[in-house]
Amino acid sequence: MKKIAFTGGGTIGHVAVNLALIPEAQKRNIETIYIGSKNGIEKEMITDSAKDTKYISISSGKLRRYLSFENLKDIFKVMKGVFDARKVLKKEKPDLVFSKGGFVSVPVIIAAKSLKIPTIVHESDVTPGLANKIAMKFATRMYTTFEETLKYVPNEKSDYIGAIIREDLRGGSKEEGYRLTGFNSKLPVLLIMGGSLGSKVLNESIRANLNYLTKKYQIIHLTGKGHLDNTIKNENYVQYEFVSNELMHFYAITSTVISRAGANAIYEFATLKLPMLLIPLGLDQSRGDQIDNAKIFEKNGYAKVLQEKEVNQSNLVRQLDQLENERTDIIDKMSNFKESYTKETLFNKIEEDIK
């Protein structure tokens, strides 16, 4: 029986593709384990959603793009993470490591290389993140969601495969979505997704316009951890820090989305034909990957884009109204969208690597 060790974490996006692939591996009688951090979001997501997958924690530091004394301390955490990962891999003896990125994946990829275990790295965004830039030096193969990414990675070991979407996200129940939220079918549902850590700017703008918006929509607001406002009392507004298994049911009742522009999320919206207003992370908080993702979706006619520095009450409402005016055209354009590779096709490739 073959075995794959999945890794990746820190954000929802670094776990979503793994959650899509794990059931496909298990269908093929491949044992799955997951190597993640001790307290990262991946631990909760995998424990809740990945059936029959053992979760194993290792030490991990944080990779920063700026000078900080914490970087020095984290060098030692990463080194310990490599030691931890080697110990896990020697015990579990996987045939392959599949990494989705995030700082926890770097020690795992380095350890796998030292043990001559084949490794695959997946990059969802247009430009590789810092973790994947490091990991690709040690990886056997890299697969990309965007074709444009091939300009930034070693061609000799990289392939464009397109988006990989969790199959269960298509199977949500409207009845369950309405039950969970207390909503009904009288008003359309607007889903607000601020990313794993939440968006203060987006949260504040939504709440400042809440009286206006809840006349037109019922709102599901995913605020990010620590960003709930329990003083708000409105029958057309519900808020959650984070959801996992409930998301597919929320998608089933959603009409329109306002979101950050993480690649996995926006590909899910396109697959489900949900018109989206994207507010990408700015350059003050990121390397600009979400800005690049949003530009491509805007160019293809799948989304409207509002830069974070332009977010205010009037601009948010104006862009949302424009999105609704063009929703039929946007949905028509998204009808041309398709996943470039199915999970089955990707796993045919993966099985070639573990023969």
Dump pLDDT digits (tens) for 52-99: 999 999 987 665 554 454 555 666 777 888 999 999 999 999 999 999
Please write the tens of the pLDDT for every residue from 48-58: 888 899 999 99
Is the pTM for the entire model greater than 0.85?
no
Amino acid of residue 163: A
User: What pLDDT score does 67 carry?
Assistant: 47
User: What pLDDT score does 71 carry?
Assistant: 54
- Judge whether 290 is annotated as a binding position: yes
Correct CATH for 3-165+339-353 of 3.30.465.10, 3.40.50.2000, 2.60.40.1930, 3.40.1010.10:
3.40.50.2000
- Judge whether 57 is annotated as a binding position: no
Dihedral over Cα of 175, 207, 193, 47: its sign: negative
Whether residue 274 has pLDDT greater than 90: yes
Give Cβ neighbours of residue 314 (< 8 Å, ≥ 6 apart): none
Whether residue 287 has pLDDT greater than 80: no
Give Cβ neighbours of residue 11 (< 8 Å, ≥ 6 apart): 41, 102, 195, 196, 197, 262
The whole-number average pLDDT for the span 315-333 is 92
Task: Please state, for a pLDDT cut of 90, what percent of the chain lies above it.
Answer: 48
Please write the tens of the pLDDT for every residue from 116-139: 999 999 988 888 888 888 899 999
User: At 243, is the pLDDT very low, low, confident or very high (cuts 50, 70, 90)?
Assistant: confident
User: At 197, is the pLDDT very low, low, confident or very high (cuts 50, 70, 90)?
Assistant: low
Mean pLDDT of the chain: 87
Please write the tens of the pLDDT for every residue from 137-148: 999 999 988 888
DSSP assignments along 74-121, one per residue: HHHHHHHHHHHHHHHHHHH--SEEEE--STTHHHHHHHHHHTT--EEE
Which range, of 10-19, 63-72, 301-310, averages the lowest pLDDT? 63-72
- Judge whether 166 is annotated as a binding position: yes
User: What pLDDT score does 237 carry?
Assistant: 96
User: What pLDDT score does 61 carry?
Assistant: 63
Which range, of 42-46, 140-144, 285-289, 304-308, averages the lowest pLDDT? 285-289
Query: Which candidate, 75, 273, 240, places its Cα nearest to that of 170?
Result: 273
CATH assignment of 170-336?
3.40.50.2000
Whether residue 271 has pLDDT greater than 70: yes
Judge contact between 316 and 205, C-beta under 8 A.
Answer: yes
**Locus of tokens 């298509």:** 170
Amino acid of residue 96: L
CA distance 110 to 76: 14
Domains 3-165+339-353 and 170-336 share a fold: yes
* Domain ranges within the chain, ordered by starting residue: 3-165+339-353, 170-336
Helix or strand (DSSP H, E) at 3: strand 3-7
User: What pLDDT score does 73 carry?
Assistant: 60
User: What pLDDT score does 205 carry?
Assistant: 85
CA distance 259 to 195: 7
Query: Which candidate, 191, 3, 188, places its Cα nearest to that of 91?
Result: 3
User: What pLDDT score does 284 carry?
Assistant: 61
User: What pLDDT score does 235 carry?
Assistant: 94
Token couple for 213: 């918006």
User: At 342, is the pLDDT very low, low, confident or very high (cuts 50, 70, 90)?
Assistant: low
